[in-house]
A and B are shown apart, each in its own frame.
Chain A
Amino acid sequence: MTKSELIARLAELNPHLYQRDVERIVTTIFDEIATALSRGDRVELRGFGAFSVKRRDARLGRNPRTGQSVDVSEKAVPFFKTGKLLRERLNTGK
């Protein structure tokens, strides 16, 4: 399912809403999550999962082709931990 398929599905379930508004709802939700993470905040959605940011220290990496060492600077990576309910649903298929 893509973002546009998700929007189409939500619009189908909510015929009283404009497609434009459904699009804004979906965009706002993901944008809000991204903004929170870029502030370093966590986003916890019970039953679904939690987004957080993990920090990776600077390290000395290697170019696998040439074997030359390269500096990899400190960085932050987004991380998602699946919620209990969703984890169960994945395994029951319901």
Chain B
Amino acid sequence: MAERTITRAELSEAVYQEVGLSRNESADLLELVLSEISTALAQGEPVKISSFGSFSVRSKGQRLGRNPKTGEEVPILPRKVMVFRPSQLLKNRINDGLSKTAQGRKTTT
């Protein structure tokens, strides 16, 4: 089984199938979910989705980097980054799923 990339289209289709809103409204709601999460994070507020994981913002201090091409030293300014911590449940789901597909692969080859 080739690795696929899931996008907004598949997620909003799932919302459409599951909830019975129109396709347009399903897409709008997905967008709203993402934008509400983004806004909370932009304000520095962590977002916890139970049974999925949590997103939080971490501040990084200034450090000295190097331009890999020229070898020149350049300061990397202090900045904020986002970290995602998957829940134990999500980690388990992924490992259970992958051990199944790995077995499937063995029997088909």
What residues of chain A have their CB less than 8 Å away from a CB belonging to chain B?
1-3, 6, 9-10, 13-14, 17, 21, 24-26, 28-30, 32-34, 36-49, 51, 53, 75-80, 82, 86-87, 89-94
Contacts and interface: CB of A to CB of B under 8 A. Distances in A.
A42 B42 contact: no
Chain B contact patch, size range: 35 or more
B19 A76 contact: no
Interface in B30-81: 30, 32-34, 36-38, 40-53, 55, 57, 79-81
Given A6-B37, A41-B4, A90-B42, A28 B98 contact: no
A36 B84 CA distance: 17
A36 B18 CA distance: 16
A21 B19 CA distance: 6
Nearest to B77: A91
Most buried by B among A1, A33, A36, A94: A1
Contact of B96 (A30, A32, A36, A38): A38
A17 B20 CA distance: 11
A34 B93 contact: yes
Given A2-B48, A28-B19, A78 B97 contact: no
Nearest to B101: A40
B37 to A, nearest CB: 7
Interface string B1-33: 101111110110011001101000010011011
A78 B54 CA distance: 12
A44 B18 contact: no
B5 A42 contact: yes
Contact of B52 (A1, A30, A45): A30
A40 B97 contact: yes
B95 interface: yes
